[in-house]
Structure 1
Amino acid sequence: MKIAQKNKILETCLIAGRIMIESGSEMYRVEDTMNRIAYNAGIQKSLVFTTPTGLFIGIENQPYVQLGPVIVRTINLEKVENVNTVSRQFANKEITLDQLMMRLESIDHHTPYFPFWMQIFSAAIVSAALMIVFSGKYTWENCIPAALAGALGYYILSEVNKRTNVRFIGEFLGSFAIGVTAYLLYRWHIGNNLDDIIIGAVMPLVPGVAITNSIRDLLAGHLLSGMVRGVEAILSAFAIGTGVALIFRFII
């Protein structure tokens, strides 16, 4: 196998792995996909090392190694599924290596996402529904304020994250806005339980996928990735809690 072909295989594996990490996939799934792509492309033994901020791939006993950074980490499980799909197609010889690379580039840049208004609406529905679940009461009068506060908090979180690369600021400002909104609605007698409103409204901000992936990585033996993601989830939860706590400390 020529050097250019080997480099192309490694580059394709890096693209697939980077997309999956950026989209919220577990590390063991990323490594398995990269190894399978390399094996089906003709590399009998590939060496893969992944972290939440970068990934490496090489060929055993050969001086061929490539690495790639992971800049952005979000949740987009549709991209993860699409990468798995094209990986299976490549394994079944339905597409060539060049076609696989082209499809991975298309997945990376052209995967459709839900419109922003639909995300806000979904955050409102989730806030109202989980308010009932966590409060344990069918207090329907708190659904509307929980939905309004949750939608506003998610809107601020999304807008702040678009405009700054500083982590956890969006969670803090979003939860602070939720606390202020919930308090004002409660004072205006729109809702009768401030705690239930806030509990429901902050749920769209909670890093549930990050916590789940952290535990799954730890159980799979990826201790570094598991701890890093766990700390990241804890800091997000701390930012959310701090934003709400300021309302109780200085306003209520």
Structure 2
Amino acid sequence: MEEKIDHLTYEIIEICLLAGKIMLQSGAETSRVEDTMTRIAAALGIPRSHSYVTPTGIIFSTDGAEPAKLIRITERTTDLHKVAEVNSVSRNLSNGDITMSEARLLLREIEAHPHTYPIWFQIVAASIASGCFLIMFQGGWFDFIPAMLCGGLGLAAVIFFQRLVAVKFFAEFSAAFLVGLFAFFFTEISIGYQVDKIIIGSVMPLVPGLLITNAVRDLMSGHLVSGLSKGAEAFLTAFAIGTGIALVFILF
């Protein structure tokens, strides 16, 4: 009987870790991940649980004799749809609408599901957003198309270089350099006119807005380690973008 209870506890811990892993990989802030894991554990019969979440790992334990478990997070992206789906599973568990087995199956399906939007759709969205940012920063409509092309190229370059070399800084630096290079090219052939506005609008899809927001929220929630590490990552991303653009201005 005791062995059965221990096995059940381990299954609950695995479900909590799976939920936390999906949320952290999809761009959720630390406080949301910890709260969701605690709520799932309480709904499954473990009212007292403890979790320690950082951007690269999760430690979860209970008040029982079971040892704490650690899970590593090596890849992070932005997919808020998955965060919302895990939160939905947590709410349904708390309300008693689904069982533990159903929750595990749903979480496995969420984890295995590819990104909400295909790559081509993300590139098109980045292109349109770049053109809109150009207008927002008081650029002219004659630069709208060049900004769209540069913005789409920038996101496509980030995705390509991240697959080619597993160094995020290099991918963002290279993408920013290409954005600046093509912005100068369009102005040289008289397709665009204000190179500064084209560059500003085109790099906006590369700016780590969600990362900065989560860093501030984590710091305000008292999660100092996560807040500082996410802030440092956001700073490196901004530095990579700025360095790539600055290199283009130095060369041309």
The TM tier, using the shorter chain, reads over 0.9
Q: Give unmatched runs, 5+ long, in structure 2.
A: none
Partner of 2:175: 174
Superposition TM-score, scaled by structure 1 size: 0.96
Partner of 1:206: 207
1:26 paired with 2:29, answer: yes
Partner of 2:220: 219
Matches within 5 A, 1:81-230: 81-111=84-114, 113-134=116-137, 136-137=138-139, 139-230=140-231
1:57 paired with 2:78, answer: no
Is the contact made by 2:79 and 2:115 (CA closer than 8 Å) also made in structure 1? no
- Superimposed CA distance per residue, residues 47-70 of structure 1 (whole angstroms, 9 cap, x where no aligned partner): 111000000111125333211111
Is the contact made by 1:20 and 1:79 (CA closer than 8 Å) also made in structure 2? yes
Give the match's secondary structure for 2:109: helix
CA distance in 2, matches of 1:112, 1:241: 28
Q: Once the 2 structures are TM-superposed, how far is the Cα of residue 163 of structure 1 from its aligned partner?
A: 2.5
Partner of 1:39: 42
- Superimposed CA distance per residue, residues 186-242 of structure 1 (whole angstroms, 9 cap, x where no aligned partner): 000111111000000001111010000000000011010000000000000000001
CA distance in 2, matches of 1:159, 1:21: 23
CA distance in 1, matches of 2:47, 2:185: 63
CA distance in 2, matches of 1:88, 1:29: 13
Q: Once the 2 structures are TM-superposed, how far is the Cα of residue 142 of structure 1 from its aligned partner?
A: 0.8
Give the match's secondary structure for 1:56: strand
Partner of 1:234: 235
Give the match's secondary structure for 1:168: helix
- Superimposed CA distance per residue, residues 75-107 of structure 1 (whole angstroms, 9 cap, x where no aligned partner): 000000000001111111111111111110100
Q: Once the 2 structures are TM-superposed, how far is the Cα of residue 44 of structure 1 from its aligned partner?
A: 1.8
Partner of 1:68: 71
CA distance in 2, matches of 1:112, 1:19: 12
Q: How many residues align?
A: 249
Give the match's secondary structure for 1:202: helix
Superposition TM-score, scaled by structure 2 size: 0.96
CA distance in 2, matches of 1:154, 1:233: 17
Is the contact made by 1:179 and 1:198 (CA closer than 8 Å) also made in structure 2? yes
Give the match's secondary structure for 1:49: strand
CA distance in 2, matches of 1:164, 1:32: 35
CA distance in 1, matches of 2:69, 2:120: 40
Return the letter of the residue paired with 2:218. D
CA distance in 1, matches of 2:47, 2:145: 58
Identity, % of aligned pairs?
Answer: 43
